[in-house]
Structure 1
Amino acid sequence: MKHIPQILAAIALIAPSATYFAAPAMTQDAPKKQSKEERNRASQEAIRTAVQRGELLPLPRILAIAQAKVPGNVIKVELEDEPWGIKYEVKILTPAGRVREVELNARTGAVVRIEDD
């Protein structure tokens, strides 16, 4: 407890010099972090480009395939990257009131799995 004033005095002497040395590093042009909105926009643009190139099937085609397998109302669609490739997950509310999930290969439209959600 006797050393607290000495420790505080040492911190008071060191703190300004730490700021002096840190200031140049803080002012250098660091890569700007993208906001979530910017990342989403870039991701959407990449998906749009892949669809235009024919690398991924367009969403209306995927929805038609999914609803042919599981009739009902589409309530959610996700695009996910898997080790084997990119897939669409389409959640459908059936007329019986069940929520079914249809997973489709985004490149081919092949149904990978159908399961209750």
Structure 2
Amino acid sequence: MPFPSRPHLILALGVLALAPGLATASGGVDQDQARRAVDRGEIQPLDKVMTAVRAGFPGEVLALKLKRRRDRWLYEFKILSASGKRSEVTIDAKTLSILEAEDDD
């Protein structure tokens, strides 16, 4: 099995480090809830999500949050482009459609 790339490793470690504290009033979910949602087909696996996001927003993922808003699962990303531009991107976790994207000024 090949060693994961640096950005993927950082992302995985960040998600694992934050996951126990994500089940809060902020709407974040823990890793068990996320796994069950993937198993039920409510959200796409993270590798597919990452591929979709990187296709439209190349760069380094600085932060990732999975949350449920009303009856919809959302992934929120903070991405740093090679030129130094920071973007916040929200995608539908089931369809992988980009719902919102904005650049930090």
Of 27, 32, 36 in structure 2, the residue corresponding to residue 49 of structure 1 is 36
Aligned residues: 80
Please tell me whether the aligned partners of residues 99 and 116 of structure 1 are also in contact (alpha carbons under 8 angstroms).
yes
TM superposition score normalised by structure 2: 0.67
**Per-residue CA distance 1:36-72 (angstroms, 9 max, x = gap):** x5885x8321210111222111111111111111111
Please tell me whether the aligned partners of residues 51 and 57 of structure 1 are also in contact (alpha carbons under 8 angstroms).
yes
The structure with the largest helix share of the pair is 1
Alpha-carbon distance in structure 2 between the residues aligned to 1:58 and 1:90: 15
TM superposition score normalised by structure 1: 0.61
Structure 1: unaligned runs, 5 residues or longer:
1-36
- List, as ranges, runs of 4+ consecutive aligned residues in structure 1 with deviation greater than 3 Å: 37-40
Alpha-carbon distance in structure 1 between the residues aligned to 2:21 and 2:65: 19
When the two chains are superposed, the root-mean-square deviation of aligned CA atoms in Å is 2.1
Query: Which structure has more RCO (C-alpha within 8 Å, separation ≥ 6)?
Result: 2
Structure 2: unaligned runs, 5 residues or longer:
1-19, 24-28
Q: What percentage of aligned pairs have identical amino acids?
A: 34
